[in-house]
Structure formats: C-alpha cells, structure tokens
Structure 1
Amino acid sequence: MSEQELYRKFARYYDLIYQWMDYKSEAEFIEKMVELHPHSGGCDLLDVACGTGNHAQYLVDSFHVVGLDINPEMMEIAREKVPEMELIQGNMKEMNLERDFDVIICLFSSINYHTNLSELGTTFKRFYDHLKPGGVLIFDLGFCTENWEEGRMLVDAVVEGDLQLARISQSRLCDGVFNANFVFLIKEDGNMDFEVDQHQIGVFNTPEVKKILENTGFETRIYSDYTDLPWDAESDKRPVFVALKHNAQPI
C-alpha cells in the first residue's frame, strides 16, 4: 500500500484510536495560560499540526483559529469537524505564512517529529518569528528522556460496529530517535488487513529544550501534563511548555 493510501486510512482511524484523550481539558489549559501570562492581547491562534481538529473545536469560541497540518486527509476531517477554522496545508519545519499570531500551539507530541536539537531550534525560530511581540507558544513533549521506558509494549484496541482495530508498538531508542513502527491489525466487513505506519520521533532532554527556547528569545515555564503544577523531572508526566516572546529581539 502506498504511503498516501496508508495516511488516508490512518486519518480515518485516528479519532477512534485516541478517543481516550481529554482534548477539552487541554483546550481549557491553553485558555487559562493565555489569560494568566501577559501576552500580545489579540486572539489569533495558530494550531500547528492541527490533525483532525480535536483541540480546535474547543478553541474556536475564544480564538480565531488557523490550522496547519501536513496531512490533507486529516485536514478533510478537521474541515468537517470545525468548519469555521481556516486551514493551511504545510510543514512546521518549513512554514512561512507571512502573518503573525498571538498564540501558537503544537500539541500531542507533534513537536517530537524533529529528530535532533538543531532541527528543533530552527522550528522554534520559525515559531518565534510568527508570533507578535508578547505572543505565547504552548507545546508538549509526549516523549522525553525523563519519561522514556525502553522496550515498553503499547497496544491500543478499538471496537466500533463491524470494525475491530488494534495498533501495536514497542519503544526502542537509537541515537535519540524512536523509529516507531506502528503495526495495525484491522478487521472490517469480515476482512482482515495488516499495515505498518512508520514514524521517526525525537526523544529530547527537557532542560535542553528549555535552553534552546530561551536562546531563541522565549521566557519559558514548564507545567505538568496540562495542569497548573510545575513539571517534576522525577514524575512520568508530560512536560508542557509555555513560552513567552519578549518584546525585543534576542541578542
């Protein structure tokens, strides 16, 4: 099966696999952080790697949301789910939208699709340049060295009507990169199918990511798993970064 056909299938199954996610609470965290921290004062929000619009659907009442995603099949679902959201197809690593935003979000491990710190730093600079003075950047590290479990087997299973779906993966790290091979077992209309969805995912040290942000010009706070508690390196919680753009360019 071609990569394009596989992504079209994955887009269809994405919301089923991640139906356990609490997108509403994460959206409420974003609103709270924007209110809590001094910011540019506007309501233009860029949702980078917006996927099928699961966060955006809870944010459009408070912000003018623009969604950016590399996958057109995911964007088709987002367009149906959140028709009021403006959508742009593109890659965060190359984005040049020639417009500024008050808030940029990049959620649910999307930032981990960088495989080294240099590449990550270049994207942070792009985010910085797309923010208004005083703007807010919010993202999480779904994978970091502090919560990594080598060899862990993960299984997600979904049953809905005549569809039975299982996704299996194992965490193996090589030179700081998780070469993720997600094995899909699908039974639908009585027929079995088997696919492998491959991704390269960077696993970063959280303090190093914070240092890159600050060198870019951001003032950075790290929270614990979309709560207002400070992140603790000894916990297994996701670090959630809230980075504030200074009004002056960094030296």
Structure 2
Amino acid sequence: MEDMPYADWLGFARAAWSRYGMPSTVVDLGCGTGSLAIPLARSGFQVYGIDLSSDMLSVARSKWDETPQQAVRSRAGTIRWLQQDMREWELGEPVDAVISFCDCLNYLTEEADIEAALRRTYLALKPGGSFLFDMHPPSQLLRYAEEQPFVLDERDIAYIWTCELEEARCQIEHHLTIFARDAGSLPFNRFEETHTQRAYDPDWIANALRKAGFRTVDRFADFELKPASASSERLFFAAVK
C-alpha cells in the first residue's frame, strides 16, 4: 500500500468541501489503518474511524498513539475508533461529512448492501452534510482482468497477483500470494489473500443515492473535480443531504 495516493484523496476531500461546505466532524467509513483519518485529525477535524476489521483498527490505534499529541492538541483534532459494518453503522449523533475512499464500497458485492450503506450514511449526516466516496467503474475491473498477472519482486517482499472476472456480475476476485521477511532475515513468510470486488453502473449508484434521500449527487473522476470519461480509472461521487 506504500504507493497509494493518500495525499490525493485528502486533496480531493478538501477541494470538495470547499464547494459543498467545510465540516468539523468527519466519519472515515472503511478507515483501514487510519492513513486518511489520522492526518485529518492532525489538521483539526473531529474524526470517527469506522472499519469492520479489528486487526486494521488495532494498527490504526497504534499509529495514532505514536502521533505527537502536543501537536494534535494544539489543533484540537480527535479520533474515535469504532468497529462497525458500513451497512449498519451508527454514531448516535449526526456528523457534518462522511468519506469512504480507496474503493471501499466496491467490496459490497450485492446491490442491497450498497443501498443499506447509503441509507445508513444519509441518516448519520446533518442536513447539508456531504458524503464523498470513490469506486472503480466496470471498465477498471475489465482492465485488471486483461492486464493480470501483476508481480512485485523486491528485497524483502514479493507477490504474485492474479485476477478472475465474472463478467455477468462485473465481479472480480484478486488472489495474492505474498512473500515477506523482516529486515532481510530468513526465511520468507508466505501469506495468501483473496479480495472480492464488484463494480456497478455509475447511473445505478447515482440513482441509489437519490433513492436514499440525497438531494445533490455529482460525479467526478481521478481525484479532480472534473467530469468522468470512458478512460477514468476511479469515479468519485459527492452527495449532499
């Protein structure tokens, strides 16, 4: 994940908030290890990091605990970590904004699950609050299937990454075999991972947002406030309650 464009996601969020309203309270839905939630808190936002994975949240808490707290306190930023399912999440108090980046919603592989996540997010927002998220379009999953396998070969880590696409559902399985060792020691440890994602018609996603109650639904692409095209690798949605 070291090459993931976290700064670009944060830049997109700030640009979108400049257009739709700058928040004070932000939920990072599918926060993973906190690579977006932590810098948001460092810069003064009140952040809730929500993820289904207890392992990811454990890493996120450790990273936050290592943050120089004096610098954080001077900006009054905070984080509360919560283990919840994005289809059923709730806080008990409304927030100004929700983000869900790094194609988290593509991991929901049934339309009913997408609709449930959108409804829960709508209910959790204050009137005028914004929901920003990105998704891989169907064309990107097709590119993965056509261009695989992917290989990484470095001194202390290597992987083989293959993909299987179910075209009828536009659903893909990413199979990774990872070999890693600590600080050049031997032997390598081998890990197996499978990630399943589904891509949805962008018009269906936009309609599902409106069905959930959002009054404004805009679409952008590739980390910029610009219209999407057939070559776009990543779609961004901005929905306002």
Q: What TM-score, normalized by structure 1, do the two folds share?
A: 0.81
> Residue 233 of structure 2: which of 231, 237, 249 is its match?
237
Residue 172 (1) aligns with residue 169 (2): no
Give 1:200 deviation, angstroms.
2.8
Alignment of 1:28-43 (within 5 A): 28-37=11-20, 39=21, 42-43=23-24
Give 1:93 deviation, angstroms.
1.4
Conservation of the 8 A alpha-carbon contact between 2:164 and 2:174? no
Give 1:154 deviation, angstroms.
4.3
More helix by share: 2
Give 1:35 deviation, angstroms.
1.6
d(CA) in 2 for partners of 1:214 and 1:55? Answer: 27
Question: Which residue identity is paired with 1:77?
Answer: V
Give 1:172 deviation, angstroms.
1.2
> Residue 46 of structure 2: which of 61, 64, 67 is its match?
64
Conservation of the 8 A alpha-carbon contact between 2:9 and 2:101? no
Conservation of the 8 A alpha-carbon contact between 1:153 and 1:171? no
Say how many residue pairs are matched: 222
d(CA) in 2 for partners of 1:93 and 1:212? Answer: 14
Q: 1:91 to 1:206 in 2, by over 3 A?
A: same
Alignment of 1:60-209 (within 5 A): 60=41, 61-83=43-65, 84-142=78-136, 144-149=137-142, 150-155=145-150, 157=152, 159=154, 163-176=156-169, 178-188=171-181, 189-209=185-205
Conservation of the 8 A alpha-carbon contact between 1:183 and 1:194? no
User: What 5-or-longer segments of structure 1 have no aligned partner?
Assistant: 1-17, 246-251
Work out the percentage of aligned pairs sharing the same amino acid. 21
d(CA) in 1 for partners of 2:99 and 2:151? Answer: 26
d(CA) in 2 for partners of 1:80 and 1:193? Answer: 23
Conservation of the 8 A alpha-carbon contact between 1:214 and 1:220? yes
d(CA) in 2 for partners of 1:67 and 1:50? Answer: 5
Q: 1:167 to 1:127 in 2, by over 3 A?
A: farther
User: What 5-or-longer segments of structure 2 have no aligned partner?
Assistant: 66-77
